[in-house]
Amino acid sequence: MSGVKIVTDSTADIPKRVREQYGIEMIPLKVMFGEESYLDGISLTNDQFYGRLVSSATLPTTSQPSPMEFTETYQRLSKQYPDSPILSIHISSALSGTYQSAVLGSTLMEEQGDVTVLDSKTVSYGLGMLVVKAAEMAAAGASKDEIVAAVEAMARDKKIYFLVDTLEYLQKGGRIGKAAALFGSILNIKPILTIDPEGEVSAVDKVRGTKKAMQRIIDLLKDEYGSDPLDMTVGWTRKRELALELAALAQGQLNVRNIRQTEIGAVIGTHAGPGAAALFITRV
């Protein structure tokens, strides 16, 4: 397959069948339970991971791929498709060193190929929707510049809102960002979080009770998009039924044209914890 080649990392939470459909290259981050190291989405299933997460006395740690892992992927693609530029899109640099590794990996190519690396300034399927958009355009024959422009426009338009059972995992993992002010909240206050334009976890609001928090998310999306037709992806960590309840609420009150589902993987799950639910929204 000719045309632009798309590379991302495992935090994009793109289902395997979709990656295979579009030929998206996925470089995994690592998850460590003590001395045991696993490749996110490859050597540890989500069920295995969440089972260990809730039973482990200590929080697992995560790490980005090395620059050489990116270089090797870029070199392989450049050798296999010598006339195809490479577009590599990754998790927010405010949350992970993955983007910096990708940039360094591209510099080690020594002009062996045409590699562009983008900081998505987002995470999970917020990143995934950008990558899938890029892959769809690449499959349709769009140029790299056209794809970059479309991805950057979608990045500005998209919204992400998510609920977590507890801020404990974000706090322990050092990813609490601008949501730190929510600590000390009284019982049953549910924080509504987002990823802000700088790519950090940020607090939007805090609402008493899960159902009211869900409705608050829908109200925020109404304010942003009105009756515009929307693409929506719902994501979850372990508790799929909670995410589907949020999705049903959105479908009943917003002009949702397309809906997808994805389970949030181990790296993001390490920091969000079990019981998180998220909506990833953009205009059609």
Digit-coded pLDDT (tens) for 226-265: 999 999 999 999 889 999 999 999 999 999 999 999 999 9
Share of the chain above pLDDT 70, in %: 93
Average pLDDT over residues 8-22: 96
pLDDT of residue 172: 66
* Contact (CB, 8 A) for 225 and 283: yes
Cβ atoms within 10 A of the Cβ of 114, count? Answer: 18
Nearest to 53 by CA among 72, 74, 38, 73: 38
Share of the chain above pLDDT 90, in %: 76
Q: What is the pLDDT of residues 30-76, one digit of tens each?
A: 999 999 999 998 998 898 999 999 888 888 999 999 999 999 999 99
Q: What is the pLDDT of residues 124-144, one digit of tens each?
A: 999 999 999 999 999 999 999
Give, rounded to a whole angstrom, the gap between the first and last alpha carbons of the chain.
27
Candidates 3.40.630.10, 3.30.465.10, 3.40.50.10170, 1.25.40.420; CATH matching 5-29+64-155: 3.40.50.10170
* Contact (CB, 8 A) for 203 and 164: no
Nearest to 154 by CA among 245, 233, 98: 233
Q: How far is residue 112's CA from residue 252's CA, in Å, rounded to a whole number?
A: 51
- Residue 40 is classified by DSSP as B
Domain 158-283 has CATH 3.30.70.1230: no
β-pairing, 61-63 vs 36-39, is unpaired
* Contact (CB, 8 A) for 48 and 77: no
212 pLDDT higher than 80: yes
| Domain extent listing, the chain | 5-29+64-155, 158-283
Q: What is the pLDDT of residues 104-128, one digit of tens each?
A: 999 998 778 899 999 999 999 999 9
* Contact (CB, 8 A) for 249 and 218: yes
pLDDT of residue 179: 53
Q: Rounded to 10 degrees, what is the CA torsion of 76, 78, 80, 81?
A: 150
Q: Give the CA distances from residue 238 to residues 105, 116, 243, in Å, rounded to whole numbers and listed in that order.
A: 34, 34, 10
Q: Give the CA distances from residue 130 to residues 13, 168, 282, in Å, rounded to whole numbers and listed in that order.
A: 12, 29, 10
* Helix 210-225 / helix 240-253 crossing angle, nearest 10 deg: 40
Q: How far is residue 198's CA from residue 221's CA, in Å, rounded to a whole number?
A: 20
pLDDT of residue 181: 47
